[in-house]
Amino acid sequence: QTSASLMWEKPEHDGGSRVLGYVVEMQPKGTEKWSVVAESKVCNAVVTGLSSGQEYQFRVKAYNEKGKSDPRVLGVPVIAKDLTIQPSLKLPFNTYSVQAGEDLKIEILVVGRPRPKISWVKDGESFKQTTRVNVEETDTLAILHIKESNKDDFGKYTITATNSAGTATENLSIIVLEKPGPPVGPVRFDEVSADFVVISWEPPAYTGGCQINNYIVEKRDTSTTTWQMVSATVARTTIKITRLKTGTEYQFRIFAENRYGKSAPLDSKPVIVQ
């Protein structure tokens, strides 16, 4: 079922009596019969209940207290067809933050006619739905559900709406707030002396959605299994470790720390101080 919106000009001459309204008539192509389909007090009307693909002719008559005017044909015949509207997507935000373990629900308003087909991509790859992460659609919304979020949910999501009138695409980012991933190795020995070493490393690839506050460095004499604290307040990705015993083999490990906790460690290879 489709509709037609019609407009016309009021008569130049009203016959000495004010125009009270208009009658709209319609004639389907291939028939001789005109039928009344609308009445209006103003110079426009909407005719509903048309069949898609059928051609129609419309005409309008003005009337006043003295009667009806001669009919005026409105334009050329028209073919009724479904109205198409190009898709559009309306996001409340482009970046969403969620603490690890919490649920996240993102609702995106979808506009378009015919109803657009929705597709999702994550980090450039086809989006895989699971019982924990999935999408649903209502008449007007596309909804992304994430239950008990974790760092796998971090990334860039692309939603695309497509119909016969066109395509719309929007991007959104999800940041999962949690403890960081480990520092990136290998641990470099920039200097090895008789009683100290200078080591360095790279920051974590995954920061946990917020900045790294500090690094924690520990050491171990390889003849024992006990780790000892070197420093819990290392600000940069390098440290000079002093007071080591000459001829002893040591191993070092580094943790990254943010407001949500500390990472798994990055372990160095053993090194003999000499």
Q: What is the pTM of this model?
A: 0.61
**Domain match, 189 and 252 both:** yes
Q: Given a cut of 70, is residue 152 above it in pLDDT?
A: yes
The answer to whether 189 and 271 are in contact (CB under 8 A) is yes
Residue 133 — pLDDT band, cuts 50, 70, 90? very high
Tokens of 173: 């980012």
Q: How far apart are CA 174 and CA 96, in angstroms?
A: 5
**Domain match, 101 and 73 both:** no
**Domain match, 54 and 104 both:** no
Q: How far apart are CA 255 and CA 150, in angstroms?
A: 20
**Range name among 69-73, 170-174, 176-180 with the lowest pLDDT average:** 69-73
The answer to whether 107 and 141 are in contact (CB under 8 A) is yes
**Domain match, 171 and 189 both:** no
**Domain match, 16 and 46 both:** yes
Residue 1 — pLDDT band, cuts 50, 70, 90? low
Vertex 227 angle, CA 223 and 230, to 5°: 120
**Range name among 38-42, 74-78, 232-236 with the lowest pLDDT average:** 74-78
The dihedral through the CA atoms of 201, 202, 204, 205 has a sign that is negative
Tokens of 235: 């600000």
Q: Of the residues 128, 151, 177, which one is the last residue of a structural domain?
A: 177
**Domain match, 97 and 121 both:** yes
Q: How far apart are CA 77 and CA 257, in angstroms?
A: 73
For residue 203, the enclosing domain spans 184-272
**Domain match, 190 and 108 both:** no
Average pLDDT over residues 214-241: 98
**Domain match, 10 and 92 both:** no
**Domain match, 97 and 154 both:** yes
**Domain match, 89 and 168 both:** yes
Residue 13, pLDDT score:
80
**Domain match, 93 and 163 both:** yes
Q: What is the CATH number of the domain that holds 33?
A: 2.60.40.10
**Domain match, 241 and 225 both:** yes
Report how many domains make up the chain: 3
Average pLDDT over residues 97-107: 96
Residue 82 — pLDDT band, cuts 50, 70, 90? low
Higher pLDDT among residues 254 and 151, named by residue: 254
Residue 10, pLDDT score:
86
Q: Which residue matches tokens 């999408």? A: 135
Q: Of the residues 145, 177, 209, which one is the last residue of a structural domain?
A: 177
Q: Of the residues 117, 144, 177, which one is the last residue of a structural domain?
A: 177
The answer to whether 97 and 109 are in contact (CB under 8 A) is no
Q: What is the mean pLDDT of the chain?
A: 93
The answer to whether 71 and 41 are in contact (CB under 8 A) is no
Q: How far apart are CA 257 and CA 232, in angstroms?
A: 9
